[in-house]
Amino acid sequence: MKMPLPKNQKIFWISLFGFSSILYMVVSMNKFKPAVVPIFPPPESEMSELCGHNNFSSLSELPTVYVITPTYPRREQVAELTRLGQTLLLAKNIHWIIAEDSSFCSPMVSGLLKRLQIPYTHLVSPQPLMYKKAKLKYNPRGVSSRRAGLHWVLENSQKGVVYFGDDDNTYDIRLFQQISRTKTISMFPVGFIGTQGVSTPIVEGGKVVGFSDDWFAQRKFPVDMAGFAINVEFLRRRNPKADVAMPYKAGYEEDFFLQNLHIKLEDIEPMASHCTEILVWHTKTVKEKKSDLIVDNDERSQESNLQKLLNFVLFNGMGEIDNPHGKRMKTCYDLHQCKTGKNT
């Protein structure tokens, strides 16, 4: 027959169980709780490196627009940079600054820039490790690259216009012609922003008097990164350290940056026919995982183009080919109308 525990022992074990549960909850919450990190990091936490630079001669008489493009390795990267690069090639008055969130210079990016022969600067500027480790709900991706690009402009240029052009957006080449005339800071509508579908300055009598955006969030300047351009001389006058004025705070990069330039409404030049047209769209490519691909070892497959094509896929970051258990490329010869079937 089992003897019941004395009352004081019951209390002890219940208390111990309760304390252990609370301790477990505290430890678990701390484990998954995002770390508190500064939005303006110490200088030693950031680094950038020059991968390449070329000032191909431009036929345009317009002032140079320095397009700063953050990018990072992924399957769609080569397609998006190719699309943007060919748009910039048509614009003519461009110096393209590509800054990679990576610790090494991508041969694919270097090759693309040389092939397009646009005046360019190629940088690597990995996001500081503290933000990658912090488990933030929203990662401030692209900030390290924009800061590195701005630093290069301030170190190497006295005139021109700075514009932040993400690699997945879509641009009308008239935008670059118009913003090249920016004397202070120009602003213009951006399409496909939030459920409202557009973000724009509000213009009355040729002057910016406010903003319309899907997400105000108490921002003084509720604008998209693609919705403004800044004259380099004006940038220097307002903040000689503008390259460190953009915060690592997702959603507030534009607002804090512009506030650190001490922008007033009367400084803003409305572009795109007084903000009645859209010349840039915040498009997004559907992202998929890279495929692990292999080619059959049979003679016919090896003598075809497939292996060389896979080498191209690997070089451009579109897939992997080193996994012996990867997905075998499907083949169908001589118009046999093959069934799809499963493929390992």
Residues labelled as active-site residues = 254
In whole angstroms, give the CA distance from residue 89 to residue 123.
19
Q: Evaluate whether 69 touches 165 at the Cβ level (below 8 Å).
A: yes
Contacts 24+ apart (CB under 8 A), 328-337: 328/293, 328/294, 328/295, 328/296, 329/293, 329/294, 329/295, 329/296, 329/301, 331/296, 331/301, 331/306, 333/300
Angle, in degrees to the nearest 10, between helices 107-116 and 77-91: 20
Cα 216 to chain centroid, rounded: 21
Using alpha carbons only, give the angle 325, 107, 225 rounded to the nearest 5 degrees: 105
In whole angstroms, give the CA distance from residue 232 to residue 116.
25
Strands (E), the chain: 49-54, 65-71, 94-100, 120-124, 161-164, 170-171, 185-187, 190-191, 198-204, 207-212, 228-231, 268-270, 280-281, 291-294, 319-320, 327-328
In whole angstroms, give the CA distance from residue 284 to residue 267.
31
Q: What contacts 109, CB < 8 A, 6 or more positions away?
A: 51, 71, 81, 98, 100, 122
In whole angstroms, give the CA distance from residue 329 to residue 344.
9
Q: Evaluate whether 214 touches 232 at the Cβ level (below 8 Å).
A: no
- What are the tokens at 312? 């191209």
Instruction: Describe the strand order of the beta sheet including 327-328 as a list of residue ranges.
Output: 319-320, 291-294, 327-328
Token pair 């090639």 in the structure block, residue:
89
